[in-house]
Structure 1
Amino acid sequence: MHLEIVVTGPLGVNTYILEKNGKAVVVDAGGNEEEIEEYLRSKNLSLAALLNTHGHFDHIGAIAPLMKKFSVPFYMHQDDSFLLPQGQKVMQMYGFGDMETPAVTHGIEHGQKLDLGGIEIEVIHTPGHTPGGCCFYIKELGCVITGDTLFLESVGRTDFPYSSTQSLVDSINNRLFTLDDATVVYPGHGEESTIGHEKNLNPFM
C-alpha cells in the first residue's frame, strides 16, 4: 500500500490518497478536485471511496464534485452530518467562493473495520474538535490519519461551536495514545509525527 499527500483547499488541508492494487481511497478531499483527479488518472487508479475525518468546510470542498465524477460513496461519522450544509455559508463568509454540499452515503462508527476496494482502515471515533471527528488507523502502513484531532506538538481547536476540550483530551489519551509509539501520525494540516513523540512532547497533553 502507498500513501500520497496532496495539499488542498483554501486552508491547506492534507488530503491523503491511499493506493493498493490499482484502487484508491481519498481521505479529506478539501478542494482542488482537478488535481486529485489528475493524480488518480496519472497513476491509473480506480477511486473506490471518499472518506472524511470530520465535516468542517475546509475538509469537504472536493467531495461533491468527486462523487459526481466517479460515482463513489462518501463515508463519514453521522454525528458530523449537520456540519456539511454549513460549509457553503462559511466559505462565502471568508470570501472563498462557492461549494456544493455533499451528502454522506455511509455512516461510520468507532471500531468499525472498513474494506474499501481492498484497502483496510480501522475507524477510531475521537470527538472533541467536532462531535463526529474520527481518526483512521491503517495497520498495513503503521500509521493513523488524525484529521484535526492531533497535530505535530499540537491538538485540534476546541473554541468552535460543538467542540469540547475535555472530549478531545479524552479521545487522544484513551484512544490515540493506546496505539504503538512508532505509529506515524498524519494530521489534517502540517507535518507528520509519531504517537510516541506526541506522548512525550505535546505541550497540550
Structure 2
Amino acid sequence: MKVYEIKSGNTNCYLIQMFRSGKWVLIDAGTADDKKFLEKIQQVTPLEQISLLVLTHGHYEHVGYAAELQQNYGVKILMHADDQKLVENGKIDFPPANNKIGKLIRWYHLRKRSKKIYPPFHPDIVINQQTKLEEFPELEFLPLPGHTMGSIGVVYGEILFAGDLMMNLFSPSPSWFAEDFELLAQSMDTVKNRKFSMIYPGHGKRFPLRALL
C-alpha cells in the first residue's frame, strides 16, 4: 500500500493505493474552505480514479469535499451510521474539550463556523459494526466511538488511520475532544489491544503506537 498525506488546513487526509488492485481510497475529505484541496489530490491521481472515500467521522474539517467528490466524480462514500445525520444536515459541530488549551481551540473554531459550511450529502455505504468490503479486502473499518459516536478507524495490517481518536499536536495523545470521554478511553483500549505498529492521526504527525504505551 502506498500512502500519501493530503493536508487540508491542520487536518490530515490520506490517499492510499492498494497493492493488489491498484485502486485508490481517500480517507477524509478536507475542509471546504481549503480551495486547493482537490488540486492536491490531483497531483497524485485523477479524481475519477478514487474508488472509495472513507469518512472517519462527520466533522466539518473531514467532510468538506465529500459531496463534490460523490456528485461530480462518482466516488462512493463510506461512514458510520451514528454520524450520518451530521453530514446529511451539513451540521457544524465541535465536541467538548478536557483541558484549557482544548477549550480555547474549541471556542476559536465555533466562532469561525460560519466560514466552515459544507454541502450536505448522503453516504453510499453506512456501517454500524466492524466491516470488510469484498472490493477492498486489505482494509478493515473499525468502530472507535468517543470523539463522535460514529467515529471509525481504517485498518491495513498493523497500520491504523485513526481519525480524531488520537492526535499529535505537541506529543501523541488521545483526543482532547470527545462527545463521550469514557467511550474514547474504551476505544483507546481497543487500539492498544490490537497492537498496531503505526498510527496515522487526523491531526499531527504519524507516530508508533508504543509512544502512547
Taking structure 2 as the reference length, what is the TM-score of the superposition? 0.78
Aligned residues: 187
Structure-2 separation of matches of 1:37 and 1:67: 16
Match of 1:177 among 182, 186, 192: 192
Q: Which amino acid aligns with 1:135?
A: G
Cα deviations by residue, 1:87-141 (Å, 9 ceiling, x for unpaired): 465699534254211211111233211344x4621122111100010111101xx
Question: Does the 8 Å contact 2:92/2:116 carry over to 1?
Answer: no
Amino acid at match of 2:41: I
Question: Does residue 1:195 correspond to 2:209, yes or no?
Answer: yes
**How far apart are the structure 2 equivalents of 1:89 and 1:195?**
30
Instruction: Give the CA deviation at 1:84.
Output: 1.2
Query: Aligned in 2, Cα 1:137/1:107: closer, same or farther, shift over 3 Å?
Result: same
CA pair 180-106 structure 1, distance change in 2 beyond 3 A: same
Question: Are 1:110 and 2:129 an aligned pair?
Answer: yes
C-alpha distance in 2, partners of 1:101/1:168? 26
Q: Do the aligned partners of residues 89 and 190 (structure 1) sit closer, same or farther apart at CA in structure 2, a change above 3 Å counting? A: closer
SS state at 2:122 partner: coil
- Paired with 1:195 and 1:7, the residues of 2 have a C-alpha distance of 22
Identify unmatched segments of 5+ residues in structure 1.
200-205
Q: Helix, strand or coil: the match of 2:15?
A: strand
SS of the counterpart of 1:76? strand
Instruction: Report the AA paired with residue 67 of structure 1.
Output: Q
**CA 1:146–1:96: 2 relative to 1, 3 Å:** same
Give the Cα separation in 1 of the matches to 2:66 and 2:72.
Answer: 10
Aligned to 1:202: none
RMSD: 2.3
The gaps in structure 2 that reach 5 residues or longer are 32-36, 94-109
**1:86 Cα offset (Å):** 5.1
> Percent sequence identity over matched residues?
25
Structure 1 residues 115 and 26, CA gap change in structure 2 (3 angstroms): farther
> Residues of 2 paired with 1:2 and 1:45: CA distance?
18
Matches within 5 A, 1:60-75: 60-75=63-78
Letter in 1 for 2:143: H
* Equivalent residues of 2:60, 2:92 under 8 A apart: no
Give 2:101's aligned residue.
none
